[in-house]
Structure 1
């Protein structure tokens, strides 16, 4: 079968790209080894934070602001509530690079930001206890995305615009002949003018074995868990999503939505894994529960009783900056990879960017920071 564009990996980035390409009139095929949304991707776990005053660098801010606009567009197109404006509280040592970057990003782009000392944080959210030299930077316009529902929404829209989505269909071979791409799965062969690779934790192997592009991409096992919490104090209308930089690690969390409890995870750390091998479930690795509990004991001591935990995978790259670029040898192949655990919030804008790269090779958002040239 012939298509204008084939997308390998129909998760966060791929599904959004499928929508934008199909909406533009491209005959689009999305292939995925599983059935998105699923528990093999970094989107697993119901919710993701979207922050605007970005601690990872000012270069991300225009991109995340575009993503926020596109999430609003998605809500309007589907009639679904996908974003909860809970605000996001960023916490760290006063004067740290983490805090400085948040403040400088907010100043440069005129983003609303409330800066509070430890006592002021406690007065506003009594469940949070901070050391005296910590500060809180609260972003009132930020919040939570319902990650799995976002993917489902893009899936429905992509199909409504004529996209074909084949699930449980693993790619076995890719051939590039002049301006044509040939994709072989277990059961079929497909032809297209262009290709998008957005295969998450499988991108590294796929690119190296089939597209002659070796990148330092790895997969890391990550854990997160829900804890019992007083719904009167920790519900999403009263309590913010949060991001803490501590000496023990970087932790993030979510208020209780629909009575699910307080959700907490750790951003850094994790064990490198083979994505094709089954991961140990939450609690089967020493330290899964204890790591989260020690964070809660130090900063949210009212939260104690574990409800349940889950696992997902981060596709990591050493500098933790994204890859969004055209293949250096094949200008009809776009790549989105290495989102390193902080990419989901951008996926609406990444999908639009991938569509633009395939259609025109250009973007109105600066993607130079995410270029393959740095390798």
Structure 2
């Protein structure tokens, strides 16, 4: 029997090989592993695959990072902190993680207004410009926009090289003493006061605490935890484009119109403009096959239609398509909280297709909560209790 202190509280457990076990070493989990290990916390990361990989939500080369965010103001604060931490990770790892391309948020004023986001950006001194359709097309003449369009341009925003970010945090975590088990699916998680056991085919692993960051695979951890998360299949495509859409000439972008909600990136080294659709998606469950790109007419069709309408110079031949997963909560806000029955088990999930940019800061938050018992970031909007589900629905 071991006796030690965790967050200042005496813990008694039959066995503990690690201080913290992280289940799911994707964007959030790998970041948490780094932030814990660099503090000297004995950390084990377990992943069903070998990150970075194509079975979750972090592949596809790039992810936007922007700061003038919609929703709760906590998002802006979190985005600003994430930017600082990405810059630190870039410096420490020696890998190029950030591309400061600017982000052009486009919308038809008939369906969306930037007024609230601009107001919050000004309060927090985030640089953001409001542009009308004439000014947008003057700066980026390759765009074809009706007069009803407007934009919010963020010159300090850009994009992250997503797989490279995972690689950086993986190497940094290992350099600081973390251990990583790859290609090791978790079969079961159990907890008792002061200890957590994670069962795999390779054996059982024991820790004083755990972080569950299983992404679209969260339902595989039932009945230990049942979160209101729905995994959906998402696609992105790279299309042949004119030089007007190359890096240095065109920014990252989002676009909201009657056709739907889209996001994208300039053509990097001639790879073609990348675009994906944020809304819609086919429901997917762990264990089910994930249909490859092109299985549905809408895979290419939805993307091509919006390019032909607003970016005709980027509506060339489809160069590549890819499929990934979103993990939606009902309100598309995150879940960052403690297990309702086990205070020493942390939950990070439901990032709903817009979480990657925050993962550097979410990892820090999880490390703070595990080691200190609290975090300086405002995570109240991400509380599990907001769904008002009964305890029996959420916990084992």
Give the TM-score taking structure 2 as reference length.
Answer: 0.91
- Aligned pair partner of 2:71 in 56, 66, 75: 56
1:344 paired to 2:356? yes
Q: Cα RMSD over matched residues?
A: 1.3
Aligned match of 1:365 in 368, 371, 377?
Answer: 377
For residue 192 of structure 2, what is the aligned residue in structure 1?
177
**Structure 2 residue aligned with 1:152:** 167
1:56 touches 1:98 (CA, 8 Å); kept in 2? no
Which of the numbers 191, 201, 209 marks the counterpart of 1:194?
A: 209
Aligned to 1:333: 345
CA contact (8 A) 2:111 2:256 kept: no
Aligned equivalents of 2:286 and 2:319: distance in 1?
Answer: 27
Residues in 1 aligned to 2:373 and 2:148: alpha-carbon distance in whole angstroms = 48
Distance 2:227 2:347 in 1: 12
Which aligned pairs between 1:163-312 and structure 2 lie closer than 5 A? 163-206=178-221, 208-209=222-223, 211=224, 213-231=225-243, 233-304=244-315, 305-312=317-324
CA distance, structure 1, for counterparts of residue 73 and residue 144 of structure 2 = 29
Q: CA deviation at 1:197?
A: 0.1
Q: Which residue of 2 aligns with 1:74?
A: 89
Tell me the SS of whatever aligns to 2:313.
Answer: coil
Partner of 1:15: 30
Unaligned runs of 5+ in 2: 1-15, 388-396
Deviations 1:163-188 (A, max 9, x none): 11010001112221211111110111
Is the 2:72–2:381 contact (alpha carbons within 8 Å) kept by the matching residues of 1?
A: no
| 8 Å contact kept, 1:204–1:216 | no
2:21 corresponds to: 6
What does the per-residue CA deviation read over 1:179-206, in whole Å, with 9 as the maximum and x for residues that have no partner?
A: 1111110111111000000000111331
Q: Deviations over 1:12-60 (max 9, x none)?
A: 0000000001111111000000111111111110100011001234221
Contact 1:118 1:129 in 2 (8 A): no
Could you tell me how far apart the structure 2 residues matched to 1:279 and 1:11 are? 18
CA contact (8 A) 1:10 1:198 kept: yes
Within 2, Cα distance between the matches of 1:102 and 1:238? Answer: 25
Distance 1:289 1:149, change over 3 A: same
| Cα 1:290/1:39, change in 2 over 3 Å | same
Distance in 2 between residues matched to 1:227 and 1:18, nearest whole Å:
36
In 2, Cα distance between equivalents of 1:361 and 1:326: 10
* TM-fit CA distance, 1:97: 5.0
2:328 maps to 1:316? yes
